Amino acid sequence: MRSLPQIILLLVIAGKLYSQNPHGQSLKMDCAACHQSASWEISAQEWQDRTKDQYRSTWEVGSNVSYFSHASTGFPLEGRHALVDCRECHSDLLFSNTPTHCVECHTDVHQQTVGFDCARCHTPAHWLVDQITDLHQQNGFPLLGQHLTADCIDCHQSESHLRFDRIGNDCINCHLVDYKETTSPNHQAAGYSTDCVVCHDPQGSNWMWTVGGANHLFFPLTQGHQISDCSKCHQSGTFMNTPTDCFACHEADFRATTQPDHEGGGFPTDCMVCHTTAVGWPANDFKEHDNLYFPIYSGKHQGEWNQCINCHTTAGNYKIFSCIDCHEHNNAGDLADDHDDVNGYVYASTACYTCHPKGDE
């Protein structure tokens, strides 16, 4: 039986040994949970095996030992971290002092321009960023059209090409130089809006922002207006205060047209009354005829004619019309009897219109 002094001595020695724990007194764990008796070193393969199977190892120790896995600390050794020597992170072996935030170990090459949450863009597998499109979507500037193929440094320019200062989501923040240097047309002199999307479509396939990619919704360039030469309409070169009514551009066409004679026939100058914007400017229904001249789309004459020449029998002269070509009689019989009480009755189209301006009986 040991004497009391021997027991005390053993306790003192044990205490000294415990106090010499290089990991500090806060780590209360059996050494065998991490180390083998053959060596204090822990191989990288050992940690990789423990990462795969968190609480078991490939080597045998006493069955009463709980094997240590780095995953149990809340910081699993994944990707590149699995290959790092322990001492690169645990420099003083006091594990409780080891930082867990990326920027505490890794130099912030972005210089605080993208925040401190490295995991938002990077993974432990590598430093490459695979979700740039998603990140831009989160920042409120989706990469659409030609922006999707642009290089990051085309917009985020810095000495290191690693600063990503916020630029702003307005086009002019990047394209101010383009705006000022454009001369055909001269955007700055004409006082064009700096909101580029008023005219240009960022999703268009043409990076040079030609008219083919312009947003001309205020005057749709469709059908007969689908042209590529802006000067056809914008002849002054300023592109400002260009009229949008048909007659302003098509007055010469209106006056030169003889089939029918628009000017001589007193046709309205609102081209859309008769025409569509389809190629060739085909005539549409002239339903204003009922209010301006004579009801042919309503009343007794609705559906009784096929083309203008049925009534306007003199080609090119729409001031001349005929009633008696359809309402024939020999100036005698029932029709003549119906007009016996009409003073000055004559069998003529103008006489018909004078008494029957609405085509009624």
pLDDT one digit per residue (tens) for the chain, 361 residues: 456 655 555 555 545 554 567 787 777 777 877 777 777 877 767 666 665 544 444 344 444 556 677 777 788 888 888 888 887 888 787 887 788 888 888 888 898 888 888 888 888 888 888 888 888 888 778 888 788 888 888 888 888 888 888 888 888 888 899 889 888 777 888 777 888 877 777 776 555 555 444 557 778 888 888 887 777 888 776 676 788 889 988 999 999 887 777 887 778 888 888 888 888 887 777 787 888 889 998 889 998 888 888 888 887 677 788 988 888 765 555 555 677 777 878 888 888 888 888 888 6
DSSP 14-80: HHHHHHT-TT-TT----GGGT-BTTBS---HHHHHHHHHSTT--SS---TT-----GGGGT----GG
Q: What is the pLDDT of residue 252?
A: 92
DSSP 8-state assignment for residue 296: S
Query: CA 57, CA 46: separation in Å to the nearest integer?
Result: 7
Decide: 54 and 72 in contact? Cβ < 8 Å.
yes
Q: What is the pLDDT of residue 211?
A: 47
Q: How many CB atoms lie within 10 A of CB 351?
A: 16
3-state secondary structure of 97: helix
164: which residues sit within 8 A by CB, 6+ positions away?
110, 113, 114, 152, 156
In Å, how far are 31, 41, 42 from 38, measured between CA atoms?
13, 9, 10
In Å, how far are 286, 298, 329, 335, 352 from 323, measured between CA atoms?
19, 17, 11, 14, 7
Q: How far from the centroid of its chain's Cα atoms is residue 211's Cα?
A: 18
Q: What is the pLDDT of residue 127?
A: 83
Q: What is the pLDDT of residue 65?
A: 55
By the 10 Å C-beta count (0-12 exposed, 13-18 middle, 19+ buried), 49 is classed as middle
Q: What is the pLDDT of residue 59?
A: 41
Decide: 346 and 355 in contact? Cβ < 8 Å.
no
Q: What is the pLDDT of residue 54?
A: 46
Q: What is the pLDDT of residue 139?
A: 79
Query: CA 77, CA 70: separation in Å to the nearest integer?
Result: 7
Q: What is the pLDDT of residue 237?
A: 64
Q: How far from the centroid of its chain's Cα atoms is residue 130's Cα?
A: 21
CA proximity to 61, closest of 23, 30, 40, 21: 30
